[in-house]
């Protein structure tokens, strides 16, 4: 498996000092068998001497044509890489590929497919992620890949050590958004992330969970059932890490850039200015993604970081005025995506539920009609 180089850290993405192998023309590799991108990625990732930086640079250079390097004679691939001044270690690795490499990669891909895991290449990535400096060049996606491009996406993030008020704030945010066809993006961690995913499921919203480890790893264990429910309800779990890669602290920081990059709005619910959530806020600022922080008595100092961030805004979430402001933001996002919007969607659902469970009289409906007319009169 390709290891992650320590030099990949930093908030600008995982490939500081990428290899000097940039966008190449593959015409010299024409005539060979084209190995599908997912198979090629898995094949190269298992080669000794091809670390993460080399793998990233190969994909950055060859894109969805990565498999052309495996479809020609090794000496042809080696000559092509040498002509582009690829690192010696990489050239030697490609020149000495083990037998059965592609066949084993096909088997690996079949194993992933049985888990409903898709391997997306550059041409299938959402444009919002592909444009990020040092952004991903592939993703492993379990569930529905279309969820990654079906917007709007709103990231709801926060501390693992959530307070009761933080959980309530998360519920208020998700309930406000639930009137519109929003996809909630978070990180499937304990605390605020888990609360955001769970509330989104309750209100029928789609979820995307970005992982800081491989797709075959379930972490933390307490979120296993929540992950299953996200998938059962048409959502997706996604990661750029190789399938069996274990979690590391820095990888969760890099995971946060995907939340900030895919989200068209980031809601930082609760945390400290020194927390992992603060990285998400800084990534959002770097990408030009609007950020909302939430305040209430006893909230952490993350709100000050948001307030000091360009495009940042702090809302007192337990007030009606703040909820209306958030509603306006989310409704505007939905309309920009061409969705018809109705702020009273949740009321209509609840009304249908109440009507099915109550012994309704005509006077009950007349009272409701009267109340609706009052609201109409107030808004003339």
Among the candidates 67, 91, 114, a domain finishes at: 114
CATH classification of the domain holding 327: 3.40.50.450
* Joined tokens for residue 106: 């096909």
Residue 120 domain flag: no
* Joined tokens for residue 266: 């980031």
141 and 100 within one domain: no
72 and 92 within one domain: yes
Reported as type and span, the H/E element at residue 92 is helix 88-95
Q: Indicate the pLDDT class of residue 23, thresholds 50, 70 and 90.
A: low
Least confident of 22-31, 90-99, 187-196, 307-316: 22-31
Among the candidates 82, 114, 146, a domain finishes at: 114
Q: Indicate the pLDDT class of residue 17, thresholds 50, 70 and 90.
A: very low
How many domains in the chain?
3
Q: Which residue has the higher pLDDT, 68 or 167?
A: 167
Q: How far apart are CA 372 and CA 33, in angstroms?
A: 67
77 and 152 within one domain: no
What pLDDT is recorded for position 2? 43
* Residues 6+ positions from 185 with CB-CB distance below 8 Å: 153, 154, 155, 156, 207, 208, 209, 210, 259, 262, 263
Q: How far apart are CA 368 and CA 355, in angstroms?
A: 12
* Joined tokens for residue 239: 């990661």
Residue 162 domain flag: yes
Q: 43 lies in which domain range?
A: 6-114
Q: How far apart are CA 99 and CA 306, in angstroms?
A: 53
176 and 314 within one domain: yes
352 and 330 within one domain: no
Q: How far apart are CA 334 and CA 329, in angstroms?
A: 9
Average pLDDT rounded to a whole number, residues 71-92: 85
Question: What does pLDDT average to over the chain?
Answer: 89
Q: How far apart are CA 271 and CA 367, in angstroms?
A: 45
Average pLDDT rounded to a whole number, residues 365-371: 93
Cis-peptide, bond into residue 220, ω within 30° of zero = yes
237 by DSSP, 3-state: which?
strand
Q: What are 112-147's pLDDT values in tens digits?
A: 999 999 999 999 999 999 999 889 999 999 999 999
211 and 68 within one domain: no
Residue 258 domain flag: yes
Residue 18 has pLDDT above 50, yes or no: no
277 and 189 within one domain: yes
In this structure, are strands 117-120 and 139-143 parallel, antiparallel, or unpaired?
A: antiparallel
Residue 67 domain flag: yes
User: Taking the model in full, what pTM does it have?
Assistant: 0.90
296 and 250 within one domain: yes
What pLDDT is recorded for position 298? 84
Cis-peptide, bond into residue 155, ω within 30° of zero = no
174 and 253 within one domain: yes
Residue 58 domain flag: yes
Percent of the chain with pLDDT over 90: 70
Backbone angles phi, psi at 120, to 5 degrees: -100, 130
318 and 191 within one domain: yes
Residue 350 domain flag: yes
Residue 366 has pLDDT above 70, yes or no: yes
274 and 156 within one domain: yes
C-alpha 34, offset from chain centre:
30
30 and 178 within one domain: no
Widest distance between CA atoms in the chain: 85
Residue 252 has pLDDT above 60, yes or no: yes
Q: Indicate the pLDDT class of residue 21, thresholds 50, 70 and 90.
A: low
Average pLDDT rounded to a whole number, residues 278-285: 94
């Amino acid at each position: 498996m390709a290891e992650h180089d320590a030099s990949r850290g930093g908030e600008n993405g995982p490939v500081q000092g990428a290899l000097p192998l940039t966008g190449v023309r593959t015409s010299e590799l024409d005539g060979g068998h084209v190995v599908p991108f997912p198979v090629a990625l898995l094949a190269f990732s298992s080669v000794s001497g091809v670390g993460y930086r080399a793998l990233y640079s190969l994909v950055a250079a060859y894109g969805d044509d990565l498999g052309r390097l495996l479809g020609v004679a090794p000496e042809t691939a080696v000559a092509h890489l040498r002509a582009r001044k690829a690192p010696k270690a990489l050239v030697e690795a490609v020149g000495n590929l083990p037998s059965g490499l592609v066949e084993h990669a096909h088997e690996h891909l079949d194993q992933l497919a049985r888990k409903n895991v898709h391997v997306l290449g550059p041409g299938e990535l959402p444009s919002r992620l592909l444009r990020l400096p040092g952004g991903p060049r592939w993703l492993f996606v379990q569930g529905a890949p279309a969820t990654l491009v079906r917007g709007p996406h709103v990231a709801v993030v926060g501390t693992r050590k959530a307070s009761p008020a933080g959980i309530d704030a998360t519920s208020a945010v998700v309930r406000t958004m639930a009137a519109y066809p929003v996809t909630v993006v978070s990180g499937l961690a304990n605390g605020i992330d888990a609360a955001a995913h769970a509330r989104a499921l309750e209100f029928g919203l789609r979820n995307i969970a970005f992982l800081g480890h491989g797709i075959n790893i379930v972490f933390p264990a307490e979120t296993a059932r929540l992950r299953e429910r996200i998938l059962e309800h048409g959502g997706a779990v996604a990661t750029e890490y190789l399938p069996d890669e274990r979690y590391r602290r820095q990888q969760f920081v890099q995971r946060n850039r995907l939340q900030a990059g895919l989200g068209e709005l980031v809601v930082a619910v609760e945390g400290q200015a020194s927390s992992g959530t603060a990285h998400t806020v800084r990534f959002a600022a770097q990408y030009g993604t609007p950020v909302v922080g939430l305040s209430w008595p006893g909230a952490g100092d993350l709100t000050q970081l948001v307030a000091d961030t360009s495009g940042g805004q702090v809302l007192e979430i337990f007030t009606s005025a703040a909820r209306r402001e958030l509603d306006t933001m989310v409704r505007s996002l939905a309309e920009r995506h061409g969705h018809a919007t109705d702020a009273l969607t949740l009321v209509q659902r609840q009304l249908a539920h109440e009507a099915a469970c109550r012994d309704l009289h005509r006077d009950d409906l007349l009272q409701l009609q009267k109340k609706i007319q009052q609201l109409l009169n107030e808004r003339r």
